Structure 1
C-alpha cells in the first residue's frame, strides 16, 4: 500500500471543572473540549520486516516506546494477533510539545486510525475508542474531536452539535521556555481546593447535568453571549507561572475577545473570537508585544472533527 497521511489536531479546553477524586485515585472531571485547526501530520508506510519505527522533524521528541504513537501502534498490532505487521511512521510536528493542547494524545489517536487503514484491520469504532482510553485520558476525544462534553477522566464523551455559520476561532499563545507538569497542577489543585471537592456520585451527576445546560453551550451555538471560561487548573497555575500571567494579560488586551483562558494544565493560553479573520487580526495587532515577551502565536479556527485520513 502507498503512504497514508493522517491529520492529528490540537484541542483546547473551553471548560475544565475538577469535581473530586474517584475511587481509582484519578480526578473526576467535567469538561468541554474543542478541536482546532492546528494539526500534526503522520505519514505511514508498511515496513517489509515487521518493525515499527518512528521519525520526527523535532529532534527533541522521543521516538522510542515512550511515545504514544509507538505505544498505539504496538497495542493495535498485539490486538490484531498479526505480529508480522509493521510500519514506518514519520511525524511532522506543528503542535507545541508539553503545551496542554493534547498533541501527543492526538498523535497516538492518529496512529490508531492510520494504522488500522494501512494494515487493513476491521476494529469497530467502539473498539478503537476503548484502546484509546487505555492509552490516555484525552485520546478518545482526540479520536472523535469536534466539540464534546467530556466526563470521567475525560474519556466519557457526549457530542455537542456544531453551530451553524462560520466556526469560531482562537488566538493561541505559548512561551517556548515555559512548561507545566500536569501531575503537579492536579496535585496543587487538590492541595488548594480539595476541601471543596464533591464526594457523592449523585453530586457528580448533578454537576454533569448542569454543564449540559450551561450558558457555555448556548454561547458556542451562537444563541447567547459567551460566558467566561472556567478552568479550575488555571486558578492554581496562574499565580505560580509568570508566563501564564503575562500571556493572559496580552490576550485580554486584544480587541473584544469572546473569552480568554488557559488550556488544560497549561501553559498554552487562548482567546476565542467570532471567526478566523478576527483571530488573525488580533494576532497581527499583538505581534510586536508577543515578540517582545517571547511568545509564539497561532491563529486557527475551530475544527468539527478529530483525527482524519487525508484523501
Structure 2
C-alpha cells in the first residue's frame, strides 16, 4: 500500500454525453446491442480517498439524495477490487463531492465507480494494468469501462466494447436538466424494446454493418456543422412521455448559433452543441434566465480527451 506520506488520493470523475446512441436490437441475454459514440465533458465529480486501518470501506458525500451504503457503485467498485486483490485487510474512507446530477443520462454513477477503481488501485498499490481494470469495470456496469479512459470512444456490444479515437474539436455545449426529474434507464430500454424490437432477430452481419457505418461516418457527421445531427434512439420514447425533455429540446433548438441538440443517454439531460466554447458561453449568458425560469439547471461545458484522472 501507499506510504504514510501518500495515504490519500484525489480523483476527477467526468460526466459523459452521447453523440450517437443507436439500438441495433435486443440480444438473447436480454441486453441491447448498441452502437454509440460517447464523449467525456468537463463537468466533474471529485473523490478523495484515504487509507484506513479497520479493513472496511466508508463513503460520505455532500449530496444528501445519494445512498452511501453498498447500493452505491463506489462501494460496489471498492468491494469488487478488494475481492480481486485477495487482501481482506484493505480499507478506505471515500469522500464524494457531487457536481454531476443524479439519474441524468450523464453516467455520473458509472464515472464515480471508475474513479473508485482507479483511485483504490493506486492507493492500495495493486498495480492492476488498464486491461485488468477494464475487465473489473465491466462487471459493475456497461458504461463503467468507457469512463476509465473516457475521451471520445466508439462503444459497441452493451457499451463495453471500446474503440478510442483521437477526435479533436473546439465544440462547446450547453447542458440542461430539470432537477426534479429523473428517468429509469432500464424502464426506457424496456419500452423501446417493446415498441421497436419485437420480432426482430439480431443478425451478426447487420451488427457488423452498423458498426462499420458508424466508424466510417460518425466523425464526418460531427464535423459537418451545416448538416450536423445527433442520433439517440431512446429519445423517440422519452420525448413522447417526458415533458421536461420535450420542452428542454425545444428551448435548446431555438438558441442562436445552436448547431444541433439532443438528449444524452436515457435522459432527462439535454444538450446543445456550439461551434466553440465562447459561442456556448455567449448563448448561455443571453438565455440563462429563460432556462432557469423554465425549471432547468444549466452548465456550459466542453469536450475533454481523458476519463478518470488522479490530481
Measured against the shorter chain, the TM-score band is: over 0.9
Q: What is aligned with 2:238?
A: 237
From 75, 85, 98, the equivalent of 1:70 is 75
In 2, Cα distance between the equivalents of 1:69 and 1:22? 28
Kindly indicate whether the alpha-carbon contact (under 8 Å) linking 1:72 and 1:135 is maintained by their aligned counterparts in 2: yes
In 1, Cα distance between the equivalents of 2:185 and 2:292? 27
2:219 is aligned with 1:217: yes
Q: What is aligned with 1:126?
A: 131
Q: What is aligned with 1:160?
A: 165
Deviations 1:83-110 (A, max 9, x none): 1110000000000000000000000000
In 1, Cα distance between the equivalents of 2:89 and 2:103? 33
In 2, Cα distance between the equivalents of 1:70 and 1:278? 40
The residue correspondences of 1:273-288 to structure 2 (distance < 5 A) are: 273-288=274-289
Tell me by how many angstroms 1:198 deviates. Answer: 5.4
In 1, Cα distance between the equivalents of 2:310 and 2:150? 14
In 2, Cα distance between the equivalents of 1:2 and 1:18? 44
In 1, Cα distance between the equivalents of 2:226 and 2:95? 42
* Aligned Cα root-mean-square deviation (Å): 1.4
Q: What is aligned with 1:13?
A: 18
In 2, Cα distance between the equivalents of 1:117 and 1:123? 9
Deviates more, 1:284-293 or 1:145-154: 284-293
Q: Secondary structure at the match of 2:182?
A: coil
Deviations 1:8-56 (A, max 9, x none): 0000000000001112110000000000000000001000211110000
For structure 1, the residue ranges without an aligned partner over 5 or more in a row are: none
Tell me by how many angstroms 1:204 deviates. Answer: 0.7
Kindly indicate whether the alpha-carbon contact (under 8 Å) linking 2:102 and 2:182 is maintained by their aligned counterparts in 1: no
In 2, Cα distance between the equivalents of 1:292 and 1:255? 18
2:84 is aligned with 1:100: no
Kindly indicate whether the alpha-carbon contact (under 8 Å) linking 2:188 and 2:237 is maintained by their aligned counterparts in 1: yes
How many pairs align?
A: 306
Kindly indicate whether the alpha-carbon contact (under 8 Å) linking 2:257 and 2:279 is maintained by their aligned counterparts in 1: no
Tell me by how many angstroms 1:288 deviates. Answer: 1.6
Q: What is aligned with 1:204?
A: 207
Q: Secondary structure at the match of 1:157?
A: strand
Kindly indicate whether the alpha-carbon contact (under 8 Å) linking 1:198 and 1:204 is maintained by their aligned counterparts in 2: no
Q: Secondary structure at the match of 2:240?
A: coil
For structure 2, the residue ranges without an aligned partner over 5 or more in a row are: 1-5
Deviations 1:217-246 (A, max 9, x none): 0244x4765521000000111011000011
